[in-house]
Amino acid sequence: MQKIDVDDLISLVRNYNPKTNEDALRRAYAYGERMHEGQFRQSGEPYFMHPVSVAAILTEMRLDDATIITALLHDTIEDTKSTYSELVEMFGTDVAELVDGVTKLTNLQLSSSETRQAENFRKLFMAMSKDLRVILVKLADRLHNMRTIRSMRHEKQVQKARETMDIYAPLAGRMGMQWMREELEDLAFRVLNPEGRNSIIRRFITLQRETGDVIHRITQDIRTELAREGIEADVFGRAKKPYAIWRKMQEKGQGFSRLSDIYGFRVITTSEPDCYRVLGAIHRRWRSVPGRFKDYISQPKSNGYRSIHTTVSGRDGKRVEVQIRTRQMHEVAEAGVAAHWSYRDGVRAENPFAVDPAKWLAALNESFANAEDHDEFLENVKLEMYADQVFCFSPKGEVVKLPKGATPLDYAYAIHTRIGDSCVGAKVDHLRVPLWTRLKNGQSVEIITAEGQRPQATWLDIVVTGRAKAAIRRSLREEDRERFIKLGRELARVAFEHVGKKATDKALKTAARRLGLDNAAEVLARLGSAELRAGEVVEALYPDLSIEKGEEVSAERAVVGLSPEQRFTRAACCQPVPGERIVGITYRGRGVVVHAIDCPALAELENQPERWIDLHWHSGKHPAAHTVTLNVTIRNDAGVLGRICTLIGEQKANISDLHFADRKPDFYRLLIDTDLRDVEHLHTVMTALEAESDVAEIHRDRDVSRKP
């Protein structure tokens, strides 16, 4: 690679900024060269060639002196004895802050594990929020590294290429720097799938040999049409990048020979009205392809991109995409958000279409503001960076921007969280559609709401925007929490009554403090969700009265009051569990059968007092080995039975048998054998099931006809 000396670099800057601070550039060049002296890249060339090349890339975007100087020095703090304070002294705080920001980004491992990656993405966006030029230098740094990646060992190439494809290329695209996105993708594609890329190139060569120079012919055709209309414009044509073609083949499931729109053309006009005149001339000359027209002039993208896109059937029936824009729009299309810093003739270019980076970042960060954990944040970032946009209209004609693949639910949440939460239906172009319908450009969307409607868990599979997903998850958490608190309050009441106490608010607050929880509501919520046992709450306040004192009691010695040679079984009719008052009845050849004291079967044994034995349960924690049959009536609907079984499992109870006692078109009645620890555990399970909206009725099944 030919070395770019300081005069070459200054010349590149002076081309767009004659008022550049030549002295500062020379000092930065000399300082960087001195700091990196003796360092070499893996290719064997002097290391300083890399920062100079990064600076040269940034001159193509006509960036300010501070950014160019930052590029020259971006590795000095990281790789040399240079310090932040030295940079402040020599080049000012602005440059030193930028270099420090790039250094911190370099240290982020964006392709690491999911949680770490999400945490580092947060840091990346924080750095962007501070000064977007940090990302511009980092993207140029990555572009030059990808251009020279072949000198790295293969494993390193693959890692860098994957990181580029997953993170840096989409980020460049999201910033509006489409040319950089395409080049980064293609350079990564060369590493990740060299055979696929080479096959595309070979087919291109074959196509050109068969059809000749299609680009030149179509370009001339467009120029002829525009001349006939008296429109002044520049026309450029190009074949799309190999990776763009490969991706389109994968998306459409088509081979290269069936892929039509592999050529792209740009028409650069002198005024906005001329853009529409060009569109009319092209559509009069060639047949437009339905569904392939987008007007980003009347509805600009959030990164400032403006252009008209249309696809037409050109020469020999081949589809070609044409982009039409003014010169100023083209500058923003090339530089994206970076156009804000572009210079021309020594002053900041006053491009009316350049987006204010602060506003752009505010809009971007709003998408991530509701993320409550690392995984959610990472999901939001990737959705935001990868998504193309569609523009939909409200019934009043207001425009709502959504990512490609968005649904009416996404639209509802984009309007307001309250609208999304209460959504029960939608109309698209005045026709009722399912909520999972994918919206298209230009459609009018009307949301139908109903009071009392709440988000459903299935909605998470329907929506694609981070904002909608975060709002649905938050609502589901709140709804579950309310249910768990209600359930926990009942469980606490029973547990406290078991030891002769009351579960007052003061008692629960004290228990929360002793358990290290925030408040009484948190204690109740954890009780209801089975994250905390009622016995633990009682023990926190009354250690001597705890219902869980002592070691776990084995099922064989669960009952106290039997002689050593006596064995016992639980009566099938009443199925007593630890915590209930019990009595033993002796049976010849069967030992002792344990009944609950209120078992109806005992009535016929009242005149045989010699068979009665006074028993009680062993104190301590019992295993979940005591089966109780629950009689449950549930709604006959998809997924209800699964939810009931899951709910029982969530209470740490096991289903040992399940029998359908009655089947009706709208309801099922089930007998569910559940293995439980004690009466408190039984009450926990029954209360949890009773709180479920799909459970119509539940009671403990006690059947005298079952043999004791």
> Scanning the structure block, which residue is given the tokens 């705890």?
546
CA distance 329 to 295: 13
Q: Is the pLDDT of residue 52 over 80?
A: yes
Q: Which pLDDT score is estimated for 113?
A: 47
CATH fold for domain 197-348: Beta Polymerase; domain 2 (3.30.460)
Ranges 94-98, 176-180, 686-690, most confident: 94-98
For 453, other C-beta atoms within 10 Å of its C-beta total 13
pLDDT of residue 673: 92
pLDDT for res 521: 86
Given pLDDT bands bounded at 50, 70 and 90, which one contains residue 73?
very high
Pairing of strands 319-326, 263-269: parallel
What mean pLDDT comes out for the span 626-641? Answer: 88
Q: What is the pLDDT of residues 496-533, one digit of tens each?
A: 877 777 888 888 888 888 888 888 888 888 887 766 77
- What H or E segment, with its residue span, contains residue 327? helix 327-335
6-192 to CATH, choices 3.20.130.10, 3.50.50.60, 1.10.3210.10, 1.10.390.10:
1.10.3210.10
Comparing 143-147, 377-381, 481-485, 629-633, the range with the smallest average pLDDT is 377-381
In the predicted model, is pLDDT for residue 629 greater than 90?
yes
Residue 374's contacts (CB-CB under 8 Å, 6 or more residues apart) are 114, 115, 118, 119, 122
Of 371, 377, 378, the C-alpha closest to 470 is: 371
Rounded to the nearest 10°, the torsion over CA 101, 104, 109, 113 is -100
Are the C-beta atoms of 114 and 44 separated by less than 8 Å? no
Q: Which amino acid is at 343?
A: Y
Confidence of residue 608 (pLDDT cuts 50, 70, 90): confident
Domain positions in the chain are: 6-192, 197-348, 474-545, 552-708
Residue 72 has what pLDDT? 94
Residue with tokens 């007052």: 504
pLDDT of residue 115: 47
> How many residues are given for the chain?
708
User: Residue 403: helix, strand or coil by DSSP?
Assistant: strand
What is the C-alpha separation between 70 and 134, in angstroms, rounded? 9
Specify which residues 324 forms β-bridges with. 267, 308
Tokens 């016995």 correspond to what residue? 535
Helix (H) or strand (E) holding 86: helix 84-91
Task: Give me the pLDDT at residue 216, please.
Answer: 87
- Residue 200 has a pLDDT of 82
Cβ neighbours around 91 below 10 Å, total: 22
Average pLDDT, rounded, for the chain: 82
Picking from 46-55, 360-369, 581-590, which range would have the lowest pLDDT averaged per residue?
A: 360-369
Of the chain, the percentage scoring pLDDT greater than 70 comes to 86
Q: CATH assignment of 552-708, given 3.40.50.620, 3.40.50.740, 3.30.70.260, 3.30.43.10?
A: 3.30.70.260
* pLDDT higher than threshold 60 for residue 379: no
Burial of 567 (0-12, 13-18, 19+ CB in 10 A): exposed
- Residue 187 pLDDT class (50, 70, 90 cuts): very high
More confident residue, 269 or 213: 269
**Is 412's pLDDT higher than 90?**
yes
Q: Which of 674, 649, 673, 645 is nearest to 661 (CA)?
A: 673
What is the distance between the alpha carbons of residues 363 and 356, in angstroms, rounded to a whole number?
A: 11
Convert the pLDDT of each residue in 240-269 to its tens digit.
888 888 877 776 655 665 555 678 899 999
Instruction: Identify the residue with better confidence: 249 or 188.
Output: 188
Average pLDDT over residues 448-468: 85
Q: Following DSSP, what letter does each residue of 571-598 receive, concatenated?
A: -TTT---TTS-EEEEEETTTEEEEEETT
User: What is residue 423's three-state secondary structure?
Assistant: strand
Q: 442 in the Ramachandran plot: left (φ > 0), alpha (ψ -120 to 50) or beta?
A: left
Non-local CB neighbours of 461 within 8 Å, separated by 6+ positions: none
**Could you identify the residue written with the tokens 């020599």?**
90
Q: Which residue has the higher pLDDT, 674 or 561?
A: 674
Three-state secondary structure call for residue 201 = helix
- pLDDT confidence tier of residue 368, bands split at 50, 70 and 90: low
- Structure token digits, residue 411: 């639209």
Paired tokens of 309:
């896109």
Task: Name which of 70-74, 235-239, 270-274 the model is least confident about.
Answer: 235-239
- Give alpha helix (H) positions in 447-531: 466-498, 505-515, 520-528
Q: CB neighbours of 36 closer than 8 A, spacing ≥ 6?
A: 46, 47, 48, 51, 75, 76, 79, 80
| One-letter identity of residue 87 | L
Q: What percent of the chain has pLDDT over 90?
A: 23
Q: Bigger pLDDT: 391 or 470? A: 470
Q: Cite the beta strand spans of 387-428 per DSSP E.
A: 389-393, 399-403, 423-428
Contact call for residues 648 and 655 (beta carbons, < 8 A)? yes
| Secondary structure class of 376 (helix, strand, coil) | helix
pLDDT of 465 over the 60 cut: yes
Q: What does the block give as tokens for 562? A: 């039997």
* Residues assigned a catalytic role: 78-79
Q: Which residue has the tokens 């987008």?
A: 294
Given a cut of 90, whether residue 581 has pLDDT beyond it is no
| Backbone angles phi and psi of 682, in degrees to 5 | -60, -45
Tell me the DSSP string of 518-551.
Answer: S-HHHHHHHHHTTSS-HHHHHHHH-GGG-TT-SS
